[in-house]
């Protein structure tokens, strides 16, 4: 079995630097709330909001470089993998 390495947050196609996602992971809350908190100030003071977002991006980048996180393996635990193997074997017989 081989482990699949996840794409780093800044390089994913569905994030913009991954700032809200990274902060949400670190503090264990839904990043949607932080994204929503950035919407209202974006209309009132767009330059300040973008500057704060980029500053938070720099803080996240430095913290991730200084204290790298353990990458969770995408491989299922052996017990779960064995159950799935049994399901695959049982399905063709039942069909």
Higher pLDDT, 55 or 2: 55
Q: Give the whole-angstrom CA distance, residue 60 versus residue 9.
A: 11
For the residues 9-32, what does the mean pLDDT come to? 79
pLDDT higher than 60, residue 82: no
> How confident is the model at residue 47, as a pLDDT?
96
Residue 5 lies in a domain: no
Residue 28 lies in a domain: yes
Give residue 28's region: left, alpha or beta (phi > 0; psi -120 to 50): left
Residue 1 lies in a domain: no
pLDDT higher than 60, residue 56: yes
Predicted TM-score (pTM) of this structure: 0.60
* Domain total of the chain: 1
- Find the domain containing 22 and state its range: 10-94
Residue 68 lies in a domain: yes
């Amino acid at each position: 079995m081989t482990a699949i390495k996840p794409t780093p947050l800044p390089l994913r196609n569905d994030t913009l630097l991954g700032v809200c996602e990274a902060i949400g992971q670190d503090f264990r809350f839904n990043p949607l709330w932080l994204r929503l908190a950035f919407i209202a100030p974006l209309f009132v003071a767009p330059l300040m909001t973008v500057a704060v977002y980029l500053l938070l991006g720099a803080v996240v980048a430095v913290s991730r470089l200084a204290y790298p996180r353990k990458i969770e393996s995408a491989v299922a635990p052996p017990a779960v993998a064995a159950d799935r193997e049994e399901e695959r074997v049982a399905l063709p017989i039942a069909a």
